[in-house]
Amino acid sequence: MIDIAHETLLEMYRRMVRIRHFENAASDLFRRGLVKGTVHPYVGQEASGVGVCMALHQDDLIAGTHRSHGHNIAKGADCARMMAEILGKETGYCKGRGGSMHIAAFETGSLGALAVVGSGIPLAVGAGLAFKLRGEERVAVPFTGEGGTNTGNWHEGMNMAAIWNLPVVFVLENNHYAVSTNVDDVIKVKDLAQRAQAYGMPGVRVDGFDVIAVYEAAAAAVARARRGDGPTLLVTECYRLEGHYAGEPEVYRTRDEVKEYWRREPLARFRVDMTSAGLVADNELDAIDNEVQVEIAEAVEFAKQSPAPDPATAMDFIYA
Amino acid sequence: MAPTAERDSVSLGSAKPTLSSDLIVQVSPGVPAKELTYQEAIREALREEMERDPSVFLMGEDIGKHGGAFGVTRTLFDQFGANRVLNTPISENTIVGAGTGAALVGMRPVMEIMFVDFSGLAMDQICTQAAKLRLMTGGQVKVPWVLRMPQGGGAGKSIAAQHSQSLEVWYAHIPGLKVVMPSTPYDAKGLMKAAIRDDNPVIFLEQKFLYAFRGLVPDAEYVVPLEQCDVKRVGADVTVIANGLMVWYAMLAAKILAPEGIDVEVIDVATISRLDRATIGRSARKTGRVVVISEACRSYGPSGEWAMSAMEEAFEYLRAPIVRVTGRDTPIPFADSIEKGVWPETEDVVQAIRSVMAW
């Protein structure tokens, strides 16, 4: 029995669709040479970011990675300012100083998107520490992939959050690939939630294609953190349906493997599950599809029309 | 009086000038003041800032009851408790990263890494995260933290290659950081207060040999501004640029050379990064002769940057090539007999000054 408000269900779907369309648009711009640098699509992981962020309050904070377009959108960031950032425009969240890998909308609760794998984790631990020291009932959520859990950052951060009982929910999105390296080649345990045991915190593992399952598990972990009962490791089992970056050759996995996971992708899954349960109607979801399509087209247009940063400002923002 | 170290003594006939606190006087007569060590002065700054601002807290290994490896935080745990003085696991990278996270949400953490040599473990969080967050977020955030790290000559204690380095240039090379190293108790207190109040990540290096040095510190509240060189001695004939312990060597050399009629100006590069080139330039144009002294390794060390800055600011005024006196390009060896030989001595500074005066 799903006890989630109707509007919340629709908002979950809207944010997942937003991410999907945003990523497709960004990847398209990248392939056409309109985006410099790189784009790391979050396609396939929409239910993970949205399920977690819908369980958070506006003033709870998330720490992102090089693949955090989705995390920002899930937390409520504006797609036009996101797209402008990717195109290196002054109207972007980071005024074009960050780009795809560093988009961080602090006004909707980002703690930064840090593109060295694992490096955002200590920041979330520190934010959680500040919340605890000040007696605030806020929660910090570092996102990482399974690759990031082999870094010292992750292990040090898990330990520090555990010993101090900090309000942190460590979200481990197992998308199965760190660039080209499969999880089975670099992690011995099959159930990544077991890693929590080493730090004396609960580890929970959920189907990362199922936004409802992610949301419910995240809500429980967040509630626990807010109560002052300490951190949780939340493993969302998902899959990176696109390459490491948009247009990557993907020589390290088979088409069949990817095709198999496409059958489980979270948007179609949501539609089937929710309509068959009678919780939402097809036409409601269709309307959202159409609205988001327009929203993303407008975001692209806004980004294209926006001015690039003035070269005279190259030395701005180095020091406060 | 400052401790007299064997390696700092200079033979000069029957008189034997040594390092003593009267070489640098920063408090005018009549100003209410007390004598503190460099270590105590840092602690005073921490205490006063913690009393003034509830967002200031301390984090580091063994800094609680134990008071830190060099006793700097001693008594602060008892005064402020475990929520203001946090003993951490041995996790340098996450100590700094957690400090950054706390700073992003409005705290002002002061972190300690036991020796600067251990900061390699935190390099990612210092140089790749904290230093870059403001720029790569387009100014959405600031990172107001201080990272305290003892560094430099092993105080005659022979603590070997992994506890003795001088690494200010590691951090001075990274835009976004400020790097500070005080040379006196007065500066230690005033610069620490400025560092804590600054809205940027500040690397605060404490020269280990100086911890026991004594000096007058005013009773009244004061701050020593960051990003300024301090003229520790006004002179007409030669500019000596130094930092940390080397400032004392420069002052001692100046005292030794005064009877010879050589009037030395000593510039203390208290903030190493975003170098105060104006002060260096003004002095070099006045004296026309420059000697740079640094305890750090010679190659790609601070001495090169200081010398180049003096040249750029004052080329047409220079009457002699710039000479540098530096640590040698080697890991610091253990045995006392050879350890002594890798750092500059006051005698080296005296000779260098004489050599530029000979032009």
* Share of residues in chain B with pLDDT > 70 (%): 94
Residue in A95, A127, A153 nearest the CB of B105? A127
**Residue from B335, B333, B334, B317 nearest B280 by CA:** B317
Spatial separation of the C-alpha atoms in residues A44 and A240, rounded to whole Å? 5
Among chain A residues, the shortest Cα distance to B82 is held by A133
Among chain B residues, the shortest Cα distance to A159 is held by B89
What is the residue whose two structure tokens read 């990675």? A65
Decide if B100 touches A, using CB distance below 8 A: yes
Lowest pLDDT segment from A35-39, A142-146, A293-297: A35-39
A119 CB neighbours in chain B (<8 A) are: 97, 124-125, 128-129
Q: Are A127 and B176 within 8 A, CB to CB?
A: no
Q: A157-205: per-residue pLDDT in tens?
A: 999 999 999 999 999 999 999 999 999 999 999 999 999 999 999 999 9
pTM (2 d.p.): 0.95
- Confidence at residue B17, expressed as pLDDT on a 0 to 100 scale: 74
- Confidence at residue B340, expressed as pLDDT on a 0 to 100 scale: 84
- Confidence at residue A90, expressed as pLDDT on a 0 to 100 scale: 98
Decide if A231 touches B, using CB distance below 8 A: no
A157 CB neighbours in chain B (<8 A) are: 94, 97-98
- Confidence at residue B156, expressed as pLDDT on a 0 to 100 scale: 61
Q: A72-127: per-residue pLDDT in tens?
A: 999 999 999 999 999 999 999 999 999 999 999 999 999 999 999 999 999 999 99
pLDDT at B158 over 50: yes
- Confidence at residue B14, expressed as pLDDT on a 0 to 100 scale: 41
pLDDT at B3 over 50: no
Domain coordinates in residue numbering, chain B? 35-218, 227-357
B57 CB neighbours in chain A (<8 A) are: 133
Q: Which of B92, B112, B206, B265 is catalytic?
A: B92
- Confidence at residue A35, expressed as pLDDT on a 0 to 100 scale: 93
Q: Are B136 and A97 within 8 A, CB to CB?
A: yes
Confidence of residue B93 (pLDDT cuts 50, 70, 90): very high
Q: A120-151: per-residue pLDDT in tens?
A: 999 999 999 999 999 999 999 999 999 999 99
- Confidence at residue B337, expressed as pLDDT on a 0 to 100 scale: 87
Q: What residues of chain A, 156 to 175, have a C-beta less than 8 Å from chain B?
A: 156-157, 159-160, 163-164
Q: Are B100 and A126 within 8 A, CB to CB?
A: yes
- Determine which of A58, A68, A156 to mutate to test the interface with B (most B C-beta atoms within 10 Å): A156
Q: B59-71: per-residue pLDDT in tens?
A: 999 999 999 999 9
Classified as helix, coil or strand, B106 is coil
Q: What is the mean pLDDT of residues A204-219?
A: 98
**Residues forming beta bridges with residue B202, ordered by sequence position:** B146, B178
Q: Are B125 and A63 within 8 A, CB to CB?
A: no
Return the CATH number of B35-218, one of 2.60.40.10, 3.40.50.970, 3.30.2320.20, 1.10.10.60: 3.40.50.970
Min Cα distance A115 → chain B (Å) is: 9
Spatial separation of the C-alpha atoms in residues A278 and A32, rounded to whole Å? 41
Spatial separation of the C-alpha atoms in residues B359 and A282, rounded to whole Å? 90
Min Cα distance A125 → chain B (Å) is: 6
Spatial separation of the C-alpha atoms in residues A116 and B315, rounded to whole Å? 43
> Dihedral of CA B256/B276/B204/B324: which sign?
negative
CB pairs < 8 Å spanning A and B: 140
B163 in catalytic set: yes
Residue in B98, B137, B140 nearest the CB of A129? B98
B109 CB neighbours in chain A (<8 A) are: 126
Instruction: Give helix A152-163 / helix A121-134 axis angle, nearest 10°.
Output: 20
Name the class of domain B227-357.
alpha beta
Q: Are A96 and B138 within 8 A, CB to CB?
A: yes
Spatial separation of the C-alpha atoms in residues B84 and B173, rounded to whole Å? 31
- Looking at every residue in chain B, the average pLDDT score rounds to 94
At a CB cut-off of 8 Å and minimum separation 6, what does A107 contact? none
Q: B173-188: per-residue pLDDT in tens?
A: 999 999 999 999 999 9
Confidence of residue B9 (pLDDT cuts 50, 70, 90): very low
- Greatest Cα-to-Cα distance within chain B, rounded to the nearest angstrom: 63
- Determine which of A117, A138, A317 to mutate to test the interface with B (most B C-beta atoms within 10 Å): A317
pLDDT at B8 over 60: no
> Dihedral of CA B192/B194/B199/B201: which sign?
negative
Q: What is the mean pLDDT of residues B189-215?
A: 97
3-state SS record for A94-159:
CCCCCCHHHCCCHHHCEEEECCCCCCCHHHHHHHHHHHHHHCCCCCEEEEEECHHHHCHHHHHHHH
By CB neighbour count within 10 A (0-12 exposed, 13-18 middle, 19+ buried), where does A20 fall? buried
- Confidence at residue B2, expressed as pLDDT on a 0 to 100 scale: 43
Same fold, B35-218 and B227-357: yes
Lowest pLDDT segment from B14-18, B172-176, B262-266, B321-325: B14-18
Q: A55-67: per-residue pLDDT in tens?
A: 999 999 999 999 9
Decide if B320 touches A, using CB distance below 8 A: no
Spatial separation of the C-alpha atoms in residues B291 and B300, rounded to whole Å? 16
Q: A304-318: per-residue pLDDT in tens?
A: 999 999 999 999 999
Determine the Cα angle at B140 with ends A70 and B91, to 5°: 75
**List of domains in chain A:** 6-241+252-306 (3.40.50.970)
**Residue from B114, B123, B124, B109 nearest B90 by CA:** B114
* The residue type at A210: D
